[in-house]
Amino acid sequence: MTKFNIKSVAIIGAGPAGIASLYEFLHTNKDGTSTVGKEVAENPLFDKIVVFEQKSQAGGIWTPDIGTKSLRVPPQSMFDTEQYNNPDVIHKSEPKPEGVLAATVENPILVKVNPKDDTHLDWQETGVYPDLFTNIPSRFVRFSYQPNEEKYQDPSRTIYPFLSHHELTSRFSSFVEKEQLEKYIRFKTRIEEVYKDENNKWVITANHDKETVHEWYAEEFDAVVVANGHYTVPFIPHIPGLAEYSRKNPEVVIHAKAYKNVDEFNGKSVLNVGGSISTENLIQYIYPVARRLSVSRRGDHKVFPFINEAIVSEGIVGKPPIERIDPETGIVYFTDGSLEGDFDKILFTTGYHYHYPFLKKLIEVVAPSNASRVSGLYWDIFAIEDPTLAAVGVPVTGLKFTSIEAEAAAVAGIWSNSKDLPSKEEQRQWEQKYVASRPHNIDYHYYAPDEVQEKYIDKVIDQFASPSRYNPLIEDGKHIDDIFLGVANLEKLFYKLKNNELSIKDTLYRD
């Protein structure tokens, strides 16, 4: 069995996954005992932990800068590549300056940049919009060691049992502040490359954005946690004619990531492409103000089945996927032979990519799209070929915060030698068997609310976490049915907003 001797860790991303990993490590002793929920470890597992975050705040998509979006998604320069559906094209690593491996955080290499250059994008702006409330009850958009505040349990709240984005953002920021986690985070610093060198050390290349100048340096670590999220890089399917049409009509095409508020849809004729949660969520705001709304969708949505009816409910024209767009006339041709034109807005709610541009080996995204699978990971966490690299935040679950917490506990458990991983061969066989028994797409990573505890969280904790680490569902597991109550309320809220029985401002709660 591999015995780990890890002293330094780099965490890529300070969203919920990166912060949960940091918190977990700070609450794990060298002997593996966990102090989660109490004081930090007296004899901490690692001597050095650095979190690298490309934004200026912690929280991932739940950062307070919501509402200050400036991006068009994607910029025309990216549309013009005709490969805007390829994440390697729209989300590249910046070329490394020469000599960067000898540069340090104290003595970086300085590279002048043009801040207006949109040929390179890190997509750091959040996809959350000011009107958004969560679709998961307040109890489950927190880690078990955060308080479950009484004030959110009030059924008379219009958005009960959910939180407004403002409430969740503020819950998260208060936690980071209270636990004094900011001192471990290097903000405005993007990881551009991660590789293992001949001395068996991970070398990360960091790019510190100082507006007109970028400071580049390299640093060595014993282990790396990839916690970069998978709702950052927008997916837009390739559609013949779309790039040229967008060049001629620059204000028409947007992705949900760039949605700010409903004003730009007022009185407009809208085509919404997509059939999942962003589609349902944005339609409830857009339908009441739009002149006309059509929805082009592909398959059925499985997570919240009410969506399948809701997004083509009364007054909305349902269409199949788009075949092509005539760039001259803007007429949209659909796969069933029908056509529609005269759209003022074409809104893509077609999801996001998993993407690891800084990592060329170990983790592979199979068939990149909104529905791709990540391969090379054991239980979606440990890189099979080198378990000193771990990912936190890959599974798709209604209990995203809880599964993140369990994954972070698993990493601490294995890296502190509290538990052992099976041999690489056994892990490879596990992945092969698992691939054979699961869909070959994002559903490979999906656990429904009524199975996530038994099939994922309990298994991950039992196999990998320290025996002294409690299961994050020990209390909250009794309330998983709240998710279903939540879905019923989500449906009611959808129809109330859509039918103008509830105004957006009634759903906006500030902490």
Ligand X SMILES: NC(=O)c1ccc[n+]([C@@H]2O[C@H](COP(=O)([O-])OP(=O)(O)OC[C@H]3O[C@@H](n4cnc5c(N)ncnc54)[C@H](OP(=O)(O)O)[C@@H]3O)[C@@H](O)[C@H]2O)c1
Ligand Y SMILES: Cc1cc2nc3c(=O)[nH]c(=O)nc-3n(C[C@H](O)[C@H](O)[C@H](O)COP(=O)(O)OP(=O)(O)OC[C@H]3O[C@@H](n4cnc5c(N)ncnc54)[C@H](O)[C@@H]3O)c2cc1C
Contacts with ligand X, residue ranges (CB under 6 A): 132, 134-135, 231, 237, 256, 273-279, 281, 296-299, 301, 321, 349-351, 370-371
Cβ proximity to ligand Y: between 245 and 401 the closer is 401
Q: Which is nearer to ligand Y, 366 or 396 (CB)?
A: 396
Three-state DSSP at 203 gives strand
Question: Per the structure block, which two tokens stand in for 234?
Answer: 């927008």
Q: Quickly list H helices, 300-423.
A: 306-310, 400-415
Pair 312, 295: CB distance under 8 Å: yes
Give residues 401-430 in contact with ligand Y (rule: CB under 6 A): 401
Contact 96, 216 (CB under 8 A): yes
Nearest approach, Cβ of 509 to ligand Y (angstroms)?
A: 14
Is 202 a binding residue for ligand Y by CB under 6 A? The answer is: no
Q: CB under 5 to 8 A by kind: which of ligand Y, ligand X, none does 276 bind?
A: ligand X
Token pair of 360, please? Answer: 């060329």
What, of ligand X, ligand Y, none, does residue 61 touch, CB below 5 to 8 Å by kind? ligand Y
CA–CA–CA angle 497, 501, 502 (5° rounding): 55
Residue 452 interacting with ligand Y (CB under 6 A): no
Answer for which of 9, 18, 139, 497 binds ligand Y (CB under 6 A) is 18
CB of 57 to ligand Y, least distance (A): 8
Give the nearer residue to ligand X in terms of CB position, either 131 or 209: 131
Which partner, ligand Y, ligand X, none, binds residue 141 by CB below 5 to 8 Å per kind?
A: ligand Y
φ and ψ at 490, to 5 degrees? -60, -40
Q: Is 387 in the site for ligand Y (CB under 6 A)?
A: no
Residue type, 116: K
Verify binding: residue 253, ligand Y, rule CB under 6 A.
no
Torsion of CA 65, 185, 89, 231, to 10 degrees: -50
Q: Is 343 in the site for ligand Y (CB under 6 A)?
A: no
Q: Which does 16 bind (CB under 5 to 8 A by kind): ligand X, ligand Y, none?
A: ligand Y
- Token representation of residue 22: 């940091």
Q: Considering the rule CB under 6 A, would residue 14 count as an interface residue with ligand Y?
A: yes
Minimum distance from residue 304 beta carbon to ligand X (Å): 9
| Residues in contact with ligand Y, shown as a per-residue x/- string from 222 to 251 under the rule CB under 6 A | -----xxx-xx-------------------
Q: Give the span between the Cα atoms of 421 and 386, in whole angstroms.
A: 11
Name which of ligand X, ligand Y, none residue 26 binds, using a CB cut-off of 5 to 8 Å depending on partner kind.
Answer: none
Total residues belonging to the chain: 511
Using Cβ positions, the residue closest to ligand X within the complex turns out to be: 351
Task: Report the residue number, 97 or 237, with the smaller CB distance to ligand X.
Answer: 237
Give burial (CB, 10 Å; 0-12/13-18/19+) of 104: exposed
**How far is residue 407's CA from residue 395's CA, in Å, rounded to a whole number?**
10
Q: Which is nearer to ligand Y, 206 or 325 (CB)?
A: 206
First vs last C-alpha separation in the chain: 49
Residue with the two structure tokens 């208060």: 174
Which residue in 277, 252, 247 sits closest to 264, CA to CA? 252
According to the binding rule CB under 6 A, does residue 190 interact with ligand Y? yes
Among 121, 141, 253, 497, binds ligand Y (CB under 6 A): 141
Choose the contact partner of 350 out of ligand X, ligand Y, none; CB within 5 to 8 A by kind. ligand X
Give per-residue burial for 196-233: e unless 16+ CB within 10 Å, then b.
Answer: eeeeebbbbbbbbbeeeebbbbbbebbbbbbbbbbbbb
Smallest separation, CB 12 to ligand Y (Å)? 5
Of 316, 336, 228, the closest CA to residue 272 belongs to 316
Strand partners, 294: 271, 317
Find the binder of ligand Y among 12, 362, 412, 497 (CB under 6 A).
12
Tokens of 120: 């390179």
CA 358 to chain centroid, in Å, comes to: 17
E strand or H helix at 277, and its extent?
helix 277-286
In the complex with ligand X, which residue's Cβ is closer, 73 or 273? Answer: 273
Applying CB under 6 A, among 35, 77, 124, 468 the residue interacting with ligand Y is 124
13 binding partner (options ligand Y, ligand X, none; Cβ < 5 to 8 Å by kind) = ligand Y
Segment interacting with ligand Y (CB under 6 A) among 126-134, 196-204, 209-217, 375-383: 126-134
Smallest gap from Cβ 340 to ligand X, in A, equals 14
Contact between 1 and 40 under an 8 Å Cβ cutoff? The reply is no
348 binds ligand Y (CB under 6 A): no
Among 29, 85, 134, 169, the residue binding ligand Y under the rule CB under 6 A is 134
Residues near ligand Y (CB under 6 A), total: 32
Q: Which is nearer to ligand X, 37 or 341 (CB)?
A: 341
Residues 6+ apart with CB under 8 A from 247: 76, 79, 80, 327
Residue-by-residue DSSP string for 435-491: HHHS-SSGGGGEE-TTTHIIIIIHHHHHHHS-TTSPPTHHHHGGGTTHHHHHHHHHH
Residue 440 touches which member of ligand X, ligand Y, none, C-beta under 5-8 Å by kind: none
299 interface partner picked from ligand Y, ligand X, none, CB below 5 to 8 A per type: ligand X
Q: Smallest gap, in angstroms, from Cβ of residue 274 to ligand X?
A: 4
Residues that bind ligand Y in the complex, under the rule CB under 6 A: 12-18, 52-55, 60-62, 124, 127-128, 134-136, 141, 190-191, 227-229, 231-232, 358, 393, 400-401
